[in-house]
């Protein structure tokens, strides 16, 4: 029975960890700096593609290609930020969603560069399946055997991956929490609350927004790298706008402007999406499996609506702040 | 106007879609003075404030602060130079505590730099200095018992007081107050006026304030500047302003040929306040 299969749940755990890092970037941008980034997935796409292309086409080491991937994600969003006058809320939302779609369409159409719609498997020469993660796999293999010798039992790749992803996620969560508690974090919230007030108090509001954008894109890029490692292959379809909105669901479900609400939101979201696959008991047993697939999505929708109805501030959010907005 | 002013506004024009809101305004504010800017609605007072504080660029003309041009600077740099404004409708940071509203206004906080966020104890010494000053200023406006409350829970009058205290937190050389008394009840208003006078006395801060409440204007200001149709039409002492016919025309409506100006005169006579 898959419901009790630990490999399945460690896979869910890995995905929740990747989404934690991804949504943390959005939390910094939206929850703290008030930026409506509807194209967050572009940071994932830019980092993942840059890394894969550099490794396959330029034979670059993973440990060099990965940080360059993150840097490209940051640079991409800085360009969006610098060319969108003043990063005003609604205009910015439209520009970012367009930006993420532009990136995705470039990935689809620039076949020589990205492998096109077939994805990274077509990155190499024709008729030759390209791999960007050989180095990562050998790193993970080494880690797996070390974990096995320490624990004295078999450790699956997903469990090892889950450990790595969550260690990085916890580190980033702690660092972000710390950063946001400093006077720097306070200026971000000031810009979120009232940009003109921030400016009138001598704060460079535009500069703060760019910084939030850069930090968020770096976190999104980091999530993109893990996404690429976890699936060993990806294509433009992985970076459609839905992925951005999953991050939005996580941030709102967990609670805005709360760093530790992000992992809570990600886990609830992950288990909601994965756990509902096993609703085959009564009354679901009365339906065929094809119908159950639709019913599952209806249930997810109802649960999300219910959560928002009873806790509009999110699981860890503060109701007072929702009222004062 | 014998010495060069703290603030010099020279022939400023600001048009919105071709319609001039400020149409050649010239004004000089002496250091350490309290100058009131009055005038009917639509005279261009707030627009002039927006130009002075850098929130709007003038179409022509100059703004000099402490002898240097500021009319091409971004507004946050003007604020850092010590020319700080408040807003007609208060701009408090609602989902931040009253204390945080104050602390964020503190200048020279090294902990505000992104590259220092993970450095241990960055800006913590400055933070303690700022906290001390914030508490002192908050108790001077009787908000010390609300330190940890969300600023959004304050009343309209308290928000005005918080915004005023927050502006002082920036360690300004000159404050531009846009209707600081609007919506503030009489006892808070007196408190605020006392603060303005005390701050001018102790810290030598120069004030330029837009105010409709003539009693306030006449009681605190050294100089009154009157704006009408985008221009400064008269500058003088409160007494002179009350006697000037042009001002009465512009500010209190045209003289009515049948009633004379007795009605307006009684509104302006403050020697025996009601």
pLDDT (mean) for A18-47: 97
pLDDT (mean) for A58-76: 97
Contact A201 B170 (CB under 8 A): yes
Q: Which of residues 242-261 of B touch A (CB under 8 A)?
A: none
What tens digit of pLDDT does each residue of A120-159 get?
988 887 777 788 999 999 999 999 999 999 988 888 889 9
Q: Is B121 on the interface with A (CB under 8 A)?
A: no
- Which pair of tokens denotes residue A302? 């109802």
Contact B91 A197 (CB under 8 A): yes
Residue B260: per-residue pLDDT: 39
Residue B253: per-residue pLDDT: 57
CA B1 to chain centre: 21
A/B interface, count of CB pairs below 8 Å = 106
Residue A86: per-residue pLDDT: 67
Residue B220 to chain A, least CA–CA distance (Å): 25
According to DSSP, residue B5 is labeled P
ipTM at complex level: 0.88
Q: What percent of chain A has pLDDT over 90?
A: 71
The DSSP-derived string for B168-190 is: HHT--SEEEEESTTTT--HHHHH
For residue A249, give every residue at least 6 positions away whose Cβ sits within 8 Å of its Cβ, in sequence order, or none: A265, A269, A304
Chain A residues with CB under 8 Å of B94 CB are 193, 324-325
Given pLDDT bands bounded at 50, 70 and 90, which one contains residue A245? very high
pLDDT (mean) for A52-64: 95
Listed as ranges, residues in chain B with pLDDT below 50 are 1-2, 255-274
Q: Is B114 on the interface with A (CB under 8 A)?
A: yes
Compare CB distances from B93 to A178, A179, A193 and report the shortest one's residue.
A193
Using alpha carbons only, what angle is made at residue A207 by residues A204 and A212, rounded to the nearest 5 degrees?
Answer: 125
Q: Tokens 């149709």, residue?
A: B229
What tens digit of pLDDT does each residue of B36-45 get?
999 988 999 9
Count how many Cα atoms sit within 13 Å of the Cα of residue B200 in the half-sphere of its side chain.
19
Please state, in angstroms and rounded to a whole number, the distance separating the CA atoms of residues B135 and B133. Answer: 5
Please state, in angstroms and rounded to a whole number, the distance separating the CA atoms of residues B58 and B27. Answer: 15
The DSSP-derived string for B95-141 is: TSBHHHHHHTT-S--GGGSGGGTTSTTTTHHHHHHHHHHHHHHHHHT
Could you give the strand order of the β-sheet that contains B60-65, starting from the edge strand earlier in sequence?
A: B19-29, B7-16, B60-65, B68-69
Given pLDDT bands bounded at 50, 70 and 90, which one contains residue A1? low
Q: CA B262 → CA A312, B255, B258, distances in Å?
A: 59, 9, 11
Residue A295 to chain B, least CA–CA distance (Å): 39
Chain B residues with CB under 8 Å of A187 CB are 104, 112
**pTM summary value:** 0.90
Please state, in angstroms and rounded to a whole number, the distance separating the CA atoms of residues B174 and B28. Answer: 13
Q: Is A194 on the interface with B (CB under 8 A)?
A: yes
Compare CB distances from B79 to A179, A202, A325 and report the shortest one's residue.
A202
Average of per-residue pLDDT values in chain A: 92
């Amino acid at each position: 029975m898959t419901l009790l299969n630990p490999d399945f749940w460690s896979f869910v755990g890995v995905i929740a960890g990747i989404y934690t890092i991804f949504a943390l970037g959005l939390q910094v941008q939206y929850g703290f700096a008030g930026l409506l980034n509807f194209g967050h997935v572009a940071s994932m796409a830019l980092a993942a593609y840059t890394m894969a292309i550099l490794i396959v086409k330029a034979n670059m080491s993973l440990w060099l290609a990965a940080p360059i991937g993150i840097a490209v994600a940051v640079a991409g969003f800085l360009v969006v930020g610098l060319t969108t006058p003043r990063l005003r809320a609604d205009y910015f939302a439209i520009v970012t969603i367009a930006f993420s779609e532009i990136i995705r369409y470039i990935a689809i159409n620039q076949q020589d560069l990205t492998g096109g719609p077939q994805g990274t498997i077509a990155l190499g020469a024709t008729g030759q399946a390209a791999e960007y993660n050989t180095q990562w796999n050998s790193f993970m293999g080494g880690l797996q055997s070390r974990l096995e010798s320490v624990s004295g039992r078999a450790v699956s790749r997903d469990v090892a991956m889950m450990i790595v992803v969550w260690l990085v996620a916890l580190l980033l969560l702690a660092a972000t929490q710390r950063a946001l508690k400093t006077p720097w974090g306070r200026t971000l919230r000031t810009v979120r609350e009232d940009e003109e007030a921030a400016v009138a108090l001598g704060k460079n509001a535009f500069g703060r927004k760019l910084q939030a954008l850069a930090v968020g894109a770096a976190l999104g890029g980091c999530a993109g790298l893990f996404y690429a490692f976890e699936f060993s292959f990806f294509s433009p379809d992985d970076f459609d706008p839905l992925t951005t909105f999953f991050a939005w669901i996580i941030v709102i479900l967990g609670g805005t402007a709360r760093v530790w609400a992000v992992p809570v939101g990600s886990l609830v979201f992950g288990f909601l999406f994965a756990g509902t696959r096993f609703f085959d008991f009564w009354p679901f047993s009365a339906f065929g499996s094809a119908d159950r697939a639709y019913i599952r999505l209806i249930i997810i929708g109802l649960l999300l609506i219910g959560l928002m109805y009873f806790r509009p501030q999110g699981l860890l959010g503060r109701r007072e702040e929702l009222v004062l907005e | 106007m014998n010495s060069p002013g703290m603030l010099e506004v020279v022939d400023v024009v600001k048009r919105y879609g071709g319609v001039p809101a400020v149409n050649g305004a010239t004004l000089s504010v002496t250091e350490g003075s309290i100058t009131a800017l009055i005038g009917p609605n639509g005279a261009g007072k707030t627009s002039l404030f927006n130009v002075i504080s850098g929130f709007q660029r003038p179409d022509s003309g100059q703004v000099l602060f402490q002898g240097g041009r500021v009319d091409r600077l971004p507004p946050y740099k003007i604020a850092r130079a010590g020319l700080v404004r408040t807003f007609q409708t208060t701009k408090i940071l609602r989902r931040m505590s009253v204390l945080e509203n104050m602390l964020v206004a503190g200048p020279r906080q090294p902990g505000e730099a992104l590259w220092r966020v993970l450095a241990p104890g960055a800006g913590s010494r400055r933070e303690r200095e700022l906290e001390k000053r914030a508490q002192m200023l908050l108790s001077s406006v009787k908000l010390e018992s609300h330190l940890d409350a969300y600023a959004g829970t304050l009343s309209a009058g308290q928000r005005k007081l918080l915004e005023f205290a927050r502006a002082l937190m920036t360690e300004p050389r000159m404050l531009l107050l846009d209707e600081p008394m609007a919506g503030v009840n009489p006892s808070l208003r007196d408190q605020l006026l006392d603060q303005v006078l005390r701050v001018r006395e102790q810290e030598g801060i120069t004030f330029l304030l837009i105010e409709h409440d003539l009693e306030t204007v006449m009681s605190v200001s050294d100089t009154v500047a009157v704006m009408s149709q985008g221009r400064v039409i008269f500058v003088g002492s409160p007494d002179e302003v009350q006697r000037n016919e042009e001002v009465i025309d512009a500010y209190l409506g045209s003289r009515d040929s049948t009633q004379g100006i007795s009605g307006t005169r009684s509104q302006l006579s403050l020697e025996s306040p009601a």
